[in-house]
Each structure stands twice: as structure tokens, then as C-alpha cells.
Amino acid sequence: MHVPITQIQEISQFLQSKTAVRPETGIILGTGLHSLVDEVTIADVIDYKDIPHFPVSTVEFHKGKLIFGHIGQVPVVVMQGRFHFYEGYSMQQVTLPVRVMKLLGIKRLFVSNASGGLNPDFQNSDMMMVTDHINLFTENPLRGKNLDTLGDRFPDMSEAYDRGMLKLARQIAKEEGIDLKEGVYAGVEGPNLETPAEYKYLRIIGADAVGMSTVPEVIVARHMEIPVFALSIITDMGVPGLIKKVNLQEIVDAAQKAEPLLKKMVSRMVESTGD
């Protein structure tokens, strides 16, 4: 489903009428990673279902709320729950919130996700800073008529993840004594988890973690020249000898174990990058 620019503008205008907050930073929270909102001085909370033209998250543990407020002195908009291609939405619908955030005025985007670990040096609940990604989705969010007012037809992806924010994250991790991993994230459609052969393939082609989100949002953000920083929480292992049957609750539990570190990292980074 193609989303016309007029709908994006309507959503933005609706949200601006509901809150006085004019966000500089956008944050997208992944599975099991919702308590970052504890760091937000909340001004307004809007349910997705109350926003015109907005999708509604169908995934358990995705709360479906748009939160406006501040982290420190920095005005933010936080997605407490995201949308996925596997839910049946088009890529344009999946990435619609990033388009809306741009019109709301964000200058940078923070993304988090739960992912499967492929690097044998990782373990459950490790936090990985995404330095690059591999797009294995069969649909691209930029397919179709280009939104010329928002970005170029052929956006450059040589710096998908902002080098300045990667450098800042390393510095903060060192100061806080955080064991921050680094690696490449492979984005796949899901919703099934991978077979052992697929885990092996993903590792061979250069991925350190695999998940079912993030890549579409990052592509759209970079299309609009929004700098991006992303964190993956390793919630299960796709390494030979460590592969076992997992369920959603176990994934959520592993993500929540890492939440205190994620909250510290993101809140410090938001405050450090705010204008």
C-alpha cells in the first residue's frame, strides 16, 4: 500500500495539534524494550488507534503508544511498539512513523530491536551497536513513486549508521563500564525464526545478528537524511551448538535483562546529541 505525502502531512498536523512538544529526537523501541519510557518526562501519550491513517501494532508486547516528552532537556517522540512487514503491512506502512517523525522535526533517530546472535563471541542479553546492515527483505520501502520533497530517488547508504553517534556510543560505554558489542545486523522478513542452515548462511555473508525490523526504518530515515543510531539486544543464539527452541516469552525475558544498560546508553546519548 502506497502512502501518499498528504496522509503523512495529515498525521503530522494531527499530532502537532495534540501536543506542544516539538521533538528533536525520535526513538523506536523493539520487543521487550519498552521501559526506556521511564527515562522520559512524559507530556502526552497518544494511542496508535487514535491517530488517523496510522497502523496498529498486532504483536504481543508492543504497546502501541506514541509518547511525547523530554529526556533531560531534549524533546523526544518515542514509539512504544513498532510495525513489521510480517504483520501484513506494506513497507510504506511499516516506515510511515519515520516519515511522520521527519515532518514533526526530528534531527536524529534512535532504533532498538531484539535479535538473534550469530557471532560466537556474543551471548544472550548482550547489547550490540549496529555498525552496518544487510537487507534481505524482498520488498524495499522506497519502491514506487519517489517522494521527491523528502529525499532523492537513489539515496546513498555508505553511512547508514551515523559515525559520529557510533563514536559517542563507544565513549559512553567506556565511561559507564558497559560491554558494548559491535556488528552487522541482517534484516529478514520473518515471522519464523531461522533454520540452522540459514543461521550459518547469515554468518557466512557477514552478519553478527539477525532480526525482523530496523532495516526498513533505517532506509527511510537515510532517504530523508536523518542520522541513525541502532542497538540490538541479543535474545537467542543462532550459533552451532547453541541453537535451541525458543518462544516469545524467553526472547522478551532476555531483552528485559539488558534494558537497564540500554536505558542508560540511549538516555545519555540523547542528552549528548540534543541541540
| Structural domains of the chain ordered from first start | 5-273 (3.40.50.1580)
Please enumerate, as own/partner, the contacts of 176-179 that have beta carbons within 8 Å and a separation of 24 or more. 176/264, 176/265, 176/268, 178/127, 178/261, 178/264, 178/265, 179/126, 179/127
Question: Where residue 256 falls among pLDDT bands split at 50, 70, 90?
Answer: confident
Q: Which residues, at least 6 apart from 113, have a Cβ–Cβ distance to it below 8 Å?
A: 30, 31, 33, 185, 211, 213, 214, 230, 231, 232, 233
Over residues 52-71, the mean pLDDT reads 80
Question: Where residue 247 falls among pLDDT bands split at 50, 70, 90?
Answer: confident
Q: Which residues, at least 6 apart from 199, have a Cβ–Cβ distance to it below 8 Å?
A: 116, 118, 210, 238, 239, 240, 243
With 90 as the cut, is the pLDDT of residue 246 above it?
A: no
Question: What percent of the chain shows pLDDT beyond 90?
Answer: 79
Q: pTM score > 0.85 for this model?
A: yes
3 state SS of 17? helix
Contact assessment for residue 109 and residue 115, using Cβ atoms and an 8 Å cutoff: no
3 state SS of 16? helix
Over residues 33-52, the mean pLDDT reads 90
pLDDT, tens only, 82-134: 899 999 999 999 999 999 999 999 999 999 999 999 999 999 999 999 999 99
Share the mean pLDDT of the chain: 92
- What's the grid cell of residue 90? 506494506
With 80 as the cut, is the pLDDT of residue 48 above it?
A: yes
Distance of CA 256 to the CA centre of its chain: 16
Contact assessment for residue 78 and residue 45, using Cβ atoms and an 8 Å cutoff: no
Question: Where residue 198 falls among pLDDT bands split at 50, 70, 90?
Answer: very high
Say which residue, 2 or 99, is predicted with more confidence. Answer: 99
Distance of CA 268 to the CA centre of its chain: 17
Q: Exposed (0-12), middle (13-18) or buried (19+): which is 148, by Cβ within 10 Å?
A: exposed
If residue 108 lies in a helix (H) or strand (E), which one and from where to where? strand 108-117
Instruction: Tell me which residue of 183, 181, 180 sits closest to 172, measured CA to CA.
Output: 180
Question: Where residue 60 falls among pLDDT bands split at 50, 70, 90?
Answer: low
